[in-house]
Amino acid sequence: MTLPYAIKQFMDEADQRLAHRPKLQQLFRNCFPNTLETTTKLQGDGTTFVFTGDIPAMWLRDSTEQVRHYIPFAKDDKDLQRIIGGLIARQIFYINIDPYTNAFNETANDRHYLETDDCGLNPWMWERKYELDSLCFPVQLLYSYWKETGQTDIFTDACYQALTSIVQVMITEQRHEQRSTYHFIRQTKKETETLQNEGRGLPVNYTGMTWSGFRPSDDANLFGYNIPANMFAVVVLGHIIEIATAIYQDKNLAERADKLRREIDYGIRAYGIVNHPKYGQIYAYETDGYGNYCLMDDAGTPGLISIPYIGYVGVDDPIYQNTRRFALSHDNPFYFEGKLAKGIGSPHTPGGYVWHMALSMQALTADNDEEIKALIEMLISTDADTGYMHEGFHPDDPADFSREWFAWSNSLFAALICKAMDKNLV
């Protein structure tokens, strides 16, 4: 794809600003346009298909994060508006096919990650893992694009249908045990790839929060209420309230979204905060509403580290600061250290792997310039001389990594370097 003018212009500027750092200059030159150059397909119907990289499917979450760093350049660039506006339309199309699906095919080609999944697959679905964040990211993209560009052509009847569906699914999943028909069974020995209890997940109590089957890493929840995803839902429901009021003049949709937002937020405060003996009050990663909770953080967004990034609270929130100290310690079972790197990993990759996305997110949410600069140096030194970011890598040997072509990781790194250039940190 030919890069939009605003993107080429910015890359030329960045080349000059990073000329004193040749390796960083090359990394940014590779990573910043990676989504546009390698994973973006303009469709004949005016939509845009953005696949994840080394997998030929489009994730609602990944595709949003893959283009998020381009939004500030879209206001006066029609080509970029065509790309991002087309992606929004494509996401809306997919949500209206099925709001419980996390990843879709480019066409109704009946290709699936596993043909044997028991979850109600149809030909459009690559994988049907219900992840609450997959409904949040498209709303965030829609809202951010609207606010940046002022474009309102995205607010179609199909968009209204999708927003209504998102609210309804979240309401349904507040009482998953009683109201939901969603299930997911994968015949596998790996517990993180399937839901227990005949595909329904472990039992949950009503909390006001909304249930989710899987995490942003595509691993199964241990407990049904993922706290970071519910925080993200609170944020995007605020966006839906504003869109319903300002664009669609639908008081009923706005009121339903507001009631739901307040119930979820109350549930987070009542059930999602744990008194830790070492760190004080911290946010749990998951809970079931029966008093059980999971204390950990995962490299995927939304996670506990990324709470300010998704907009739920600021970096200076005291509970977030306590939670951050926990997440970046060995008390987090998925925090790893090695000779060349230290940071958050995931049960999705081999034990001990640190994720580049987690390092980028740690820097994006840091309030300390020295921490940001140190993390940037860590990212630069662990690309295994490939010129790109990866998924997980061994902190003793960055050449031992997963996913050679993972556009989301490249985009998040590029977003970090944009922020660092703004602050004159590189």
Residue 189 has pLDDT above 80, yes or no: no
CA atoms of 209 and 226, how far apart (whole Å): 9
Q: Radius of gyration of the chain from Cα atoms?
A: 20
* 3-state SS class at 308: helix
- Topology of domain 5-422 in CATH is Glycosyltransferase (1.50.10)
Q: What is the pLDDT of the chain when averaged over all its residues? A: 97
* 3-state SS class at 293: strand
Q: Where are the alpha helices (DSSP H) in 112-201?
A: 132-149, 157-172, 176-179, 196-199
Strand-pair category, 225-226 with 125-127: unpaired
* Listed residue (154, 144, 178, 155) closest to 70, CA to CA: 144
Compute the average pLDDT of residues 340-348.
Answer: 96
CA atoms of 322 and 418, how far apart (whole Å): 27
CA atoms of 62 and 138, how far apart (whole Å): 10
**Pseudo-torsion of CA 354, 140, 215, 323, nearest 10°?**
60
Q: Judging by beta carbons within 10 Å of its beta carbon (0-12, 13-18, 19+), is residue 201 exposed, middle or buried?
A: buried
What ranges do the domains of the chain cover?
5-422
User: What's the pLDDT band for 1 if we cut at 50, 70, 90?
Assistant: confident
Residues 6+ apart with CB under 8 A from 183: 118, 119, 195, 198, 199, 200
CA atoms of 252 and 140, how far apart (whole Å): 21
Model's pTM, two decimal places? 0.97
* Listed residue (161, 291, 294) closest to 223, CA to CA: 294
- Give per-residue pLDDT as tens, 215-257: 999 999 999 999 999 999 999 999 999 999 999 999 999 999 9
CA atoms of 118 and 100, how far apart (whole Å): 14
* 3-state SS class at 90: helix
Given this model, what pLDDT does residue 247 score?
Answer: 98
- Give per-residue pLDDT as tens, 291-339: 999 999 999 999 999 999 999 999 999 999 999 999 999 999 999 999 9
Q: How is 332-356 classified by DSSP, letter by letter?
A: STTEEE-SS-EEE--TTS-TTPEEH
Q: Where are the alpha helices (DSSP H) in 173-250?
A: 176-179, 196-199, 227-246
Q: What kind and span of H or E run contains 131?
A: none
CA atoms of 339 and 377, how far apart (whole Å): 14
% the chain with pLDDT above 70: 100
Any bridge partners for residue 287, and if so which? 225, 293
Contact indicator for 264, 237 with CB cutoff of 8 Å: yes
Given this model, what pLDDT does residue 269 score?
Answer: 98
Angle between helices 5-17 and 407-422 (to 10 degrees): 60
